[in-house]
Structure 1
Amino acid sequence: MITMDDIVREGHPALRERAEEVSLPPAQEEIELLKEMLQFLKNSQDEEIAQKYKLRAGVGLAAPQLGIKKRMIAVHFVDFHDNEYSYGLINPKVVSHSVEKTYLSSGEGCLSVDREVPGYVPRPARITVTATDIDGNDIKLRLKGYAAIVFQHEIDHLNGVMFYDHINSKNPFEAPENANPCDVE
Structure 2
Amino acid sequence: MITMNDIVREGNPILEQIATPVEIPINDQERKTLKEMLQYLKNSQDEEISKKHQLRPGVGLAAPQIGLSKRMIAVHFEDLNGKQFSEGLINPKIISHSVEKTFLSNGEGCLSVDREIPGYVPRYAKVTVKALNVHGDPIKWRLRGYAAIVIQHEIDHLNGIMFYDHINKTNPFHIPENAKACDVE
Q: Distance in 2 between matches of 1:139 and 1:84?
A: 15
- Structure 2 length-normalised TM: 0.98
- Structure 1 length-normalised TM: 0.98
Q: Distance in 2 between matches of 1:13 and 1:126?
A: 30
Counterpart residue number, 1:62:
62
The superposition leaves residues 54-90 of structure 1 with CA deviations (integer Å, 9 ceiling, x where unpaired) of: 0000000000000100000000001221111111000
Letter in 2 for 1:42: K
Counterpart residue number, 2:90:
90
Letter in 2 for 1:87: E
In structure 1, stretches of 5+ residues that fail to align are none
1:15 aligns with 2:15: yes
Counterpart residue number, 2:128:
128
Q: Distance in 1 between matches of 2:72 and 2:26?
A: 11
Counterpart residue number, 2:164:
164
Aligned counterparts, 1:1-185, within 5 A? 1-183=1-183
Q: Distance in 2 between matches of 1:15 and 1:122?
A: 20
Q: Distance in 2 between matches of 1:150 and 1:174?
A: 20
In structure 2, stretches of 5+ residues that fail to align are none
**Alignment identity in percent?**
68
Q: Distance in 2 between matches of 1:133 and 1:172?
A: 36
Q: Distance in 1 between matches of 2:114 and 2:93?
A: 27
Letter in 1 for 2:57: A
Q: Distance in 1 between matches of 2:142 and 2:41?
A: 22
Letter in 2 for 1:112: S
Q: Distance in 2 between matches of 1:128 and 1:82?
A: 19
Size of the aligned set, in residue pairs, is 185
Q: Distance in 1 between matches of 2:125 and 2:166?
A: 14
Q: Distance in 1 between matches of 2:52 and 2:116?
A: 24
Q: Distance in 1 between matches of 2:11 and 2:33?
A: 23
SS at match of 1:91: strand
Q: Distance in 1 between matches of 2:61 and 2:129?
A: 16
The superposition leaves residues 149-170 of structure 1 with CA deviations (integer Å, 9 ceiling, x where unpaired) of: 0000000000000000000011
Structure 1: 4+ residue segments shifted above 4 A: none
